[in-house]
Amino acid sequence: MKKILAVGLLALTPSLLLATPIVSMPSDSDGPFRHNVFHAAESAGGAAGQILAWFNLDTNASSFWDADTGALSLNISIYSDSDLTTAVGTASASSDNLMGANLNGFDGGLIGNISWSFDLAAQEYFSTRDASLDLSGIIMMSFMDFEYASNSSGDIANSYQSNLLTLWGADGLFNNGVFEDSSLGVDMMMEMSEPGILLLMGLGLIGLGATARRR
Give domain status of residue 4, yes or no: no
Q: Report the C-alpha gap between 184 and 126 in whole angstroms.
A: 10
pLDDT of residue 43: 59
The parent domain of residue 101 ranges over 21-194
Question: Does residue 11 sit within a domain?
Answer: no
Higher pLDDT, 211 or 85: 85
Q: What is the tens place of the pLDDT at every residue in 45-77?
A: 556 678 999 999 999 999 999 999 999 999 999
> Average per-residue pLDDT in the chain?
78
By C-alpha distance, which of 145, 158, 146, 211 is closest to 187?
158
Share of the chain above pLDDT 90, in %: 44
CA atoms within 13 A on the CB side of 67: 20
Q: Does the residue 134 lie in any domain? A: yes
Helix (DSSP H) and strand (DSSP E) numbers for the chain? 3, 13
Q: Is 56 helix (H, G, I), strand (E, B) or coil?
A: strand
Residue 91 lies inside a defined structural domain of this protein:
yes
- Residue 210 domain-assigned? no
Amino acid at 193: S
Residues 170 and 142: beta-carbon distance below 8 Å: yes
Q: Is residue 168 part of a domain?
A: yes
pLDDT, position 94: 98
Q: For the segment 91-125, what is each residue's pLDDT rounded down to a tens digit? A: 999 999 999 999 888 787 889 999 999 999 999 99
Q: Whole-model pTM?
A: 0.78
Longest Cα separation, the chain: 64
Domain count, the chain: 1
Half-sphere exposure (CA, 13 Å, Cβ side) for 179? Answer: 25
